[in-house]
Amino acid sequence: MNQEAIMKRRMVTAIILCIVTIIGMLVFIGLYIDETKRVQETYKAQYHTSLKHVSDDVTSYLSAEGDLEMRYTRLVSDMSNAASFAFLLDGFTEKQIIVNELATCLLKYPEQMRERLEDVKKAVDDMQQELDKGYEEAKEIVDSINKKGN
């Protein structure tokens, strides 16, 4: 065999190896994109589940069922959980800020927030249904809180 035939075989092998590598890369990129989308759907489902728990907790609190302090603590915990899942969602920055502020107000200003729990429930129910007005309502609640008070 001469040198030219050996080089042609090596080039053909290199080209085939390059094509197989590119195909493999495209498959893994596709799998990565699909997995990322699946994980985002899971986070979104968990976010909505947390909002449902918040709504149920507010209903339970307003119905005066059981220990109110424990119910309010559970409400704060579920709202913080929703804020955590909102943080994990892509393209959710503005709404994430509102959810986080609402969770913070529930935690830091319980006396003022207890008076606004019906409004919180309405806002959370609208957020759970993916309505923008729910986030606007939540923003109004947060803005109405006296941050220098208790």
Domain limits of the chain? 41-144
The conformation of residue 109, written as its DSSP 8-state character, comes to: -
Let me know: does 107 contact 120? Beta carbons within 8 Å.
Answer: no
Q: Which two tokens stand for residue 63?
A: 């119905």
The conformation of residue 66, written as its DSSP 8-state character, comes to: S
- How many CB atoms are closer than 10 A to CB 137? 21
Give the separation between CA 52 and CA 67, rounded to whole angstroms.
20
Give the separation between CA 22 and CA 26, rounded to whole angstroms.
6
Give the separation between CA 44 and CA 89, rounded to whole angstroms.
7
Sequence-distant (≥ 6) Cβ neighbours of residue 61 within 8 angstroms: 68, 71, 72, 75, 117
pLDDT digits (tens), the chain, 150 positions: 688 888 999 999 999 999 999 999 999 999 999 999 999 999 999 999 999 999 998 888 888 766 788 888 999 999 999 999 999 998 888 899 999 999 999 999 888 888 888 999 999 999 999 888 989 999 999 998 887 755
**pTM of the shown model:** 0.80
Sequence-distant (≥ 6) Cβ neighbours of residue 6 within 8 angstroms: none
